[in-house]
């Protein structure tokens, strides 16, 4: 099990990106959360965890986008996994 904290940059606010992340989590089985960063309108924060293959698929889907959002870059840093976390949440603010 792996967990990463991410800062996602691009056209990711006011595009339904948080809901898109939630849909990607449902397709891949990862858990975690996503939230807008209110200090930067081109920046979203998320934490995601899962097995390596699940994480790769999740980030691949994010990079492709859904036609409304566009990911320019993702800065990732590993962190300890949360064994109690079972779902993915789209939060309102970070």
Structure tokens at 31: 């858990």
Structure tokens at 66: 């859904």
Query: Which tens digit of pLDDT belongs to each residue from 77-88?
Result: 999 999 999 999
Residues recognised as catalytic:
18, 36
In a structure prediction context, what are the per-residue pLDDT tens digits for the chain, which is 94 residues long? 999 999 999 888 888 888 999 999 999 999 999 998 777 666 899 999 999 999 999 999 999 988 898 899 999 999 999 999 999 999 876 5
* Structural domains in the chain (count): 1
Q: What is the DSSP secondary-structure string of 19-75?
A: HHHHHHHHHHT-EEEEEE-TT-TTEEEEEEEE-HHHHHHHHHHHHH--SS-EEEEEE
Instruction: State residue 40's pLDDT score.
Output: 63
pTM of the predicted protein model: 0.90
Q: Domain with 43 in it: what CATH number?
A: 3.30.70.100
Task: Show the domain range for 25.
Answer: 2-90
């Amino acid at each position: 099990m792996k967990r990463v904290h991410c800062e996602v940059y691009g056209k990711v606010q006011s595009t339904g990106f948080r809901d898109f992340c939630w849909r990607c989590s449902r397709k891949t089985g990862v858990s975690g959360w996503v939230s807008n960063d209110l200090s930067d309108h081109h920046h979203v924060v998320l934490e995601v965890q899962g097995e390596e293959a699940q994480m790769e698929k999740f980030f691949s889907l994010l990079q492709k986008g859904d036609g409304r959002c566009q990911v320019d870059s993702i800065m990732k840093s590993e962190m300890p996994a949360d064994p109690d976390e079972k779902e993915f949440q789209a939060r309102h603010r970070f």
